[in-house]
Amino acid sequence: MKQSMAKLHNHLREQPAWFVVLSIASVSSLSLIGGIGIESVSEQLIPLMPLIVSMPSLNTMVSDYATIIAAHAGDPNERPRSRKELARAISISIMVNISGVLALSTLIAWHRGYDFTGIFLLKFIIFTIGAVVGSVSFMFFLTYFLDKVFEKRNLNPDDLLIPVVTTLSDVLMLGAVAGAAVWLF
Amino acid sequence: MYIMILMQLLNQKLNHTKKHWHFLYKHRRRSTNASTKQIVVGQVLTVIISVIAGLWLDNVKYSLVAFAGALILLPGIVNLCGSLAGALGAKINHLIEENPKRNTTRILIGSTTHALIISLLTGLLVGIVGGVIGELYFEADLFMMVKLMLLTMLLVGVVIYPIVAALVLIFRGLKMNPDNLVGPAQSSLVDLLSVVMIALAIEILA
């Protein structure tokens, strides 16, 4: 095991620097798509203080869950057995997360003088729950689908799944925030 | 007599199987509980630090909007710094593991410098991509966006990489696996630092 890990590390070190720079930059450039969405709706987004306060945590949360889901799917021994256990573990964690984000961002916005209306609060709660649950469910199905595709094509999911799903989760969440700023609030 | 021996053997086997399934059941329950606990603890920490990042974002939102294209670059900065800091943590941990006789200070300085150089090179490429998009669609200045990207990457890197290196050493000292713990800690710190540093970089460039 240690020998194979050492081999893997040696192999990783042998990658030329330009390849490392180019691949990291390409994946990160994809996440600029989410930034384009935010920049396009900045005028509408700025007055929505609770949404701005919660934006980084929503983004990080979905990205973290995408990594956790992809990491579990990538382990061939764990795949069939742990899917249900993972869904159960994540659903408990998501409830804690959503409650925390909603409570903290509402409290901070209220403390900073944001004028809450009943309808805004309702929309904010529905958006937060819908966006997180929707994105994580989508990540589950996407990971399951990509895992099958990679398996059929004899590609190692460990190499591809995490970068693909984390970048997609970034774009998805920032897209949801931009869409909500225009159409929901 | 033979029947008695056979019954005893069967009983032993059954007891062994029962113990095995009991052990398996308990182990699975424990592992599920542990992963739930670990995920929840990691996520609570992430939520608290990320909400502080959101609070800071709300503080600096007007300067971010005033600098055309800054909001395009922000997810790129978070993504880049997050992946590079994660890779740095894993690299330092594995280098120390593989070469216990090698000087730890040299490993730390070498890996951190390497990460900083890579982050500037990747930042340059992502800055150019973002700058071209900004110039074409948002009336932003390509060179200002590249400068903003490079300066922010430098500022975030100078702070976050030594923190990641220190966290690896601290977790190793506490006999904990840094591969499992550095990730959640650094991802939320990167969120916070990216927002703080991009605002600082805008002020420096203005």
Chain B interface disruption, residue of A7, A32, A172, most B CBs within 10 A: A32
**Residue A129 vs residues B86, B94, B136: alpha-carbon distances, Å:** 28, 39, 35
Residue A44 C-alpha, separation from nearest chain B C-alpha, in angstroms? 11
Whole-number pLDDT of residue A130: 93
d(Cα B44, Cα B60) in Å, to the nearest integer?
A: 25
d(Cα A61, Cα A46) in Å, to the nearest integer?
A: 22
pTM tops 0.80, yes or no: no
d(Cα B70, Cα B61) in Å, to the nearest integer?
A: 10
d(Cα A74, Cα A5) in Å, to the nearest integer?
A: 17
Q: Where does CATH 1.10.357 sit in chain A?
A: 33-184
Q: Are the CB atoms for B69 and A39 separated by under 8 Å? A: yes
Q: Which of B9, B183, B197 is nearest to B86 (CA)?
A: B183
Q: Decide which of 3.30.200.20, 1.10.10.10, 3.90.79.10, 1.10.357.20 is the CATH code for B42-205.
A: 1.10.357.20
- Name the strand (E) or helix (H) holding A87: helix A79-111
Please give the interface size between A and B, counted as residue pairs whose CB atoms are below 8 Å apart: 168
- What are the pLDDT digits (tens) for B65-100? 889 889 999 999 988 888 888 888 888 888 888 887
Whole-number pLDDT of residue A123: 92
d(Cα B180, Cα A68) in Å, to the nearest integer?
A: 11
pLDDT at A81 > cutoff 50: yes
Subunit contact A64:B43, Cβ cutoff 8 A? yes
User: In B, residues 142-181, which contact A (CB 8 Å cutoff)?
Assistant: none
CB atoms within 10 A of CB A96: 16
A108 CB neighbours in chain B (<8 A) are 51, 54-55, 58
Instruction: Give the contacts of A118 (CB within 8 A, at least 6 positions apart).
Output: none
| Mean pLDDT calculated for residue range B163-186 | 81
Q: Are the CB atoms for B182 and B164 separated by under 8 Å? A: yes
B53 CB neighbours in chain A (<8 A) are 56-57
Q: Is the ipTM beyond the 0.85 threshold?
A: no
Whole-number pLDDT of residue B187: 78
Instruction: Give the contacts of B44 (CB within 8 A, at least 6 positions apart).
Output: A96, A97, A100
- What are the pLDDT digits (tens) for A105-119? 999 999 988 888 889
pLDDT at B32 > cutoff 50: no
pLDDT band at A125 (very low <50, low <70, confident <90, very high): very high
d(Cα B80, Cα B77) in Å, to the nearest integer?
A: 5
Which of A9-13, A137-141, B89-93 is least confident? A9-13
Indicate the CATH number for domain A33-184: 1.10.357
A166 CB neighbours in chain B (<8 A) are 79
